[in-house]
Amino acid sequence: MESQEIVTISKAEYNAMQHTITALKFELSELKRLIFGAKSEKHHCQIDNQPTLFELPKEEVIETQTEEITYTRKKTKTKKQAFRLELPAHLPRKTEIINPEFLPENAVYINSIVTEILEYEPANIFVRRIVRNKYKIAQTDEKTSIIIADLPSLPIPKSNAGASMLAHILISKFVDHLPFYRQSQIFKRQKLNIPESTMGGWFSASCRLLEPLYEVLKKKVLSTDYIMADETPIPVQTHEKQGATHKGYHWVYCDPVKKLVLIDYQKSRAREGPNELLKKYKGYLQTDGYTAYNNLSNQLHITQLACMAHARRKFEHAKDNDRSRSDWALRMIGKLYVIEDQAQEKSLSPEAIKDLRQKESKPILMEIETWLNENLNQTLPQSPIGKAIAYTLTLWPRLKRYIEDGRFHIDNNLIENSIRPIALGRKNYLFAGSHKAAQQAAIIYSLLATCKLNDIEPYQWLMKTLSVIPETKLSQLPNLLPIGI
């Protein structure tokens, strides 16, 4: 039998080892969540004094007995009926009338049986031929003059791409996440050769055309007194990094009241980006816990709000470390969200939302604050639950500030939804070709995200805007923004 060596370590070393084990277990669980886990953060919790549908009273004890019963029954099969999709009424109808073959002359019509089938036609690509007739006008002094109609305004002068084609290409990339090379392949199947480089040129020209409208959007967003902010990375090809990409960032700013989205490209995640953009801003700024927003040069004129969804996420990730504490926090935060859902369902005014929060949300927030202070020193600082409590308590003044104004949101989910198309596009076209292209993408994403917030069909808006913006005066540009159309 082999001898076992006994090693003696100090209590401090033992605690350090336990901390390391706990941290490694948490990192492993986060990695598994990232690879295999569901992305939904919905927490199903039971509200106090609200039993489940089939719950029995706790004090009632049910005794079970086993007995054998023999019987015969007839088993019938129920055949499920096929479900037919109801076709939308707005779709155009092409009617075919079919009569029976060899119909006798004395047949009398009774009625018709209508069957509707959903069909598809590939995109209808056509060439718009603009024919301008020339006229010769004779004059009295035996001289003649030639007149011809002016060429209609085109989005890109000296180009053979119309507004509808440009809109289709941009929507396909920035809404449907189809890179230019895939679109080129699709066009080839329709016997139309549009090189990827040509699409890139059309994209740049369209962005130059839309840039003044983007500047108008920026002024409108920064003129409000309540905005949300977040950031997301975007790989960028540069000459400085051969064979690799530079990690740039799209900084996203959203006015949730007027439903405007502004995306600004910066080469880094440093505070210089928001510091420059928000240097004259005065109002409320709602963000996550990223420290870059904490030390802005204009900090005296900015009141910060935080995101309850980020705090909830911390406790969700700490469930494997301390389930009882995590479940308590998630249940209490869930109550706050139930109140927000009630306000939305009833379409309450901002004033009514504030009154509801002061009456129902404020006591819950006070209870959570007391619990956080009591449990802060009862958990290991480097444990997942300890980090969740410390993170939430550090941001607590900002987290509870949303109850002061009915316009404020409890979280930043609205802006995270605006970022999602950027993340999806990043997985498809992988990187931006240059810093300039990344900023041009920010222009398109800003305008299309604003379309989405206002439930405006992006293709129709973009096609119309590209058609009229070359002749639109600067003073009339605000009328082209995708709001209230």
Sequential DSSP letters for 425-472: HHHHH-SBSSHHHHHHHHHHHHHHHHHHHTT--HHHHHHHHHHHGGG-
Rounded Cα distance between 164 and 428, Å, is: 23
> Is residue 325 situated within a structural domain?
yes
Q: How far is CA 259 from the centre of its chain?
A: 13
Terminal alpha carbon distance of the chain? 85
Q: Please tell me the predicted confidence (pLDDT) of residue 332.
A: 94
Render each residue's pLDDT in the chain as its tens digit; 485 residues: 555 667 677 777 777 777 777 777 767 766 766 666 555 555 544 444 444 444 444 444 445 566 565 656 666 666 666 566 678 888 888 899 988 888 888 888 898 988 888 887 777 888 888 898 888 887 767 777 888 888 888 888 888 889 999 999 999 999 988 999 999 999 999 888 999 999 999 999 999 999 999 999 999 999 999 999 998 888 887 777 676 788 889 999 999 999 999 999 998 888 899 999 999 999 999 998 888 898 888 889 999 999 999 999 999 988 888 899 999 999 999 999 999 999 999 999 999 999 999 999 999 999 999 999 999 998 888 888 999 999 999 999 999 999 999 999 999 988 877 777 777 766 666 677 788 988 999 999 999 999 999 999 999 999 999 999 999 999 999 999 998 64
How many residues are given for the chain?
Answer: 485
| Domain interval for residue 228 | 154-295+414-485
Q: Please tell me the predicted confidence (pLDDT) of residue 402.
A: 94
Question: Do both 291 and 422 map to the same domain?
Answer: yes
Question: Do both 162 and 285 map to the same domain?
Answer: yes
End-of-domain residue from the set 411, 435, 455? 411
> Is residue 177 situated within a structural domain?
yes
The DSSP bridge pattern shows strands 134-138 and 144-148 to be: antiparallel
Work out whether the CA dihedral 308, 314, 320, 325 comes out positive or negative.
negative
Question: Do both 447 and 369 map to the same domain?
Answer: no
> Is residue 438 situated within a structural domain?
yes
> Is residue 109 situated within a structural domain?
no
Q: What is the CA radius of gyration of the chain?
A: 32
245 three-class SS: strand
Question: Per residue in 69-113, pLDDT tens?
Answer: 565 666 666 666 656 667 888 888 889 998 888 888 888 889 898
> Is residue 145 situated within a structural domain?
no
Question: Do both 397 and 419 map to the same domain?
Answer: no
Rounded Cα distance between 326 and 306, Å, is: 20
Q: Tell me the backbone φ, ψ of residue 195, rounded to 5 degrees.
A: -60, 155
Q: Please tell me the predicted confidence (pLDDT) of residue 480.
A: 94
Give the tokens for residue 111: 């009625």
Question: Do both 402 and 419 map to the same domain?
Answer: no
333 three-class SS: helix
> Is residue 85 situated within a structural domain?
no
Neighbours of 451 (CB within 10 A): 24
Work out whether the CA dihedral 360, 363, 369, 370 comes out positive or negative.
negative
Rounded Cα distance between 433 and 203, Å, is: 12
End-of-domain residue from the set 359, 379, 411? 411
Question: Do both 232 and 187 map to the same domain?
Answer: yes
Q: Please tell me the predicted confidence (pLDDT) of residue 433.
A: 75
Q: Please tell me the predicted confidence (pLDDT) of residue 67.
A: 59
Question: Per residue in 275-302, pLDDT tens?
Answer: 999 999 999 999 988 888 988 888 899 9
Question: Do both 186 and 280 map to the same domain?
Answer: yes
Question: Do both 324 and 401 map to the same domain?
Answer: yes
Question: Do both 206 and 271 map to the same domain?
Answer: yes
End-of-domain residue from the set 411, 434, 467? 411
Question: Do both 368 and 451 map to the same domain?
Answer: no
> Is residue 232 situated within a structural domain?
yes
> Which DSSP state fits 388?
H
Is there a contact between 389 and 383 (Cβ–Cβ < 8 Å)? no
Question: Do both 360 and 395 map to the same domain?
Answer: yes
Q: Please tell me the predicted confidence (pLDDT) of residue 290.
A: 87
* Number of separate domains in the chain: 2
In the block, residue with structure tokens 């969200």: 337
Question: Do both 418 and 282 map to the same domain?
Answer: yes
Q: Please tell me the predicted confidence (pLDDT) of residue 382.
A: 84
Q: Please tell me the predicted confidence (pLDDT) of residue 54.
A: 40
> Is residue 268 situated within a structural domain?
yes
Using alpha carbons only, give the angle 90, 92, 97 rounded to the nearest 5 degrees. Answer: 130
Question: Per residue in 414-453, pLDDT tens?
Answer: 887 777 777 776 666 667 778 898 899 999 999 999 999 9
| Long-range Cβ contacts of 83-87 (<8 Å, 24+ apart) | 85/118, 87/116, 87/118
Q: Please tell me the predicted confidence (pLDDT) of residue 264.
A: 93
